[in-house]
Amino acid sequence: MKALVINCTLKKSPETSNTEALFRTVTEQLEEEGVEVDVVRAVDLDIAPGVVSEPVHEGDAWPDVHAKILASEILVIASPTWLGQPSSVAKRVLERMDAMLSETDDEGRPVAYNRVAGVVVTGNEDGAHHVIGEITGALQDIGYTIPGQAWTYWNQGPGPGPSFLEGGSGHDWSRKTGRAMAANLLGVARALAARPLGPPPQ
């Protein structure tokens, strides 16, 4: 079983990512269960705007990310919250994933069928539930199965404040919820592997 995390932080490597600090709770739990985990920090790559899986221009990194997505049964989109919204990087990723709506496998199933997805959100402001809803809604449209409680988040509350790694409260809750998220993602992924969905009726 393989999992891919797309970190949609605005910070390029090697700058510290609060979003990564939280999603590691999820990936550590998955790895303990034998899942092979890969991580993509999207902002480090040249991902062109567009709604196709093919390269938009020379050097466009999206086709490689798309291949990693299709090689994984579990997908986690991790995003900070800015102005109560998913990051611009997360929106760019979802726009490119839009092409998957028309992609099918050899049996005529949408390529996202029999795959599960979840969301990790950080931010020192309100808006985590909105970000979770935006991202999971898009992933469901594409065909992903979203298990119950397939998310975790941390935010400081209304107004500016310290980020996840700087302090504040709620860390234990966020980490506990992250471990539950990992268990739920893996449980449903295993169920779909045992009894996969067929192609939609015509």
Q: What's the pLDDT at 159?
A: 67
- What is the overall mean pLDDT for the chain? 94
71: confidence class by pLDDT, cuts 50, 70, 90? very high
- pTM value is 0.95
Q: What angle do CA 195, 197, 188 make, to 5 degrees?
A: 60
- Residue 3 CA to residue 71 CA, distance in Å, equals 9
Q: How far apart are CA 195 and CA 198, in angstroms?
A: 9
Instruction: Indicate whether 11 pLDDT > 80.
Output: yes
Give the start-to-end residue ranges of the domains of the chain.
2-194
Closest listed residue to residue 181, CA positions, set 55, 18, 16, 35: 35
Provide the pLDDT for residue 168.
63
Q: CATH for 2-194, among 3.30.70.100, 3.30.530.20, 2.40.50.100, 3.40.50.360?
A: 3.40.50.360
The pLDDT, as a whole number, for residue 170 is 76
Q: Which pLDDT belongs to residue 165?
A: 79
pLDDT digit string, tens, across residues 117-169: 999 999 877 889 999 999 999 999 999 999 999 999 998 766 667 778 776 66
Task: Identify the pLDDT of residue 167.
Answer: 67
Report pLDDT digits (tens) over 23-67.
999 999 999 999 999 999 999 999 999 999 999 999 999 999 999
pLDDT band at residue 5, thresholds of 50, 70 and 90? very high
- Inform me whether the pLDDT recorded for 199 exceeds 80: yes
> Quick one: average pLDDT of 59-82?
97
Say how far apart CA 179 and CA 160 lie, in whole Å: 27
What is the distance between the alpha carbons of residues 101 and 55, in angstroms, rounded to a whole number? 17
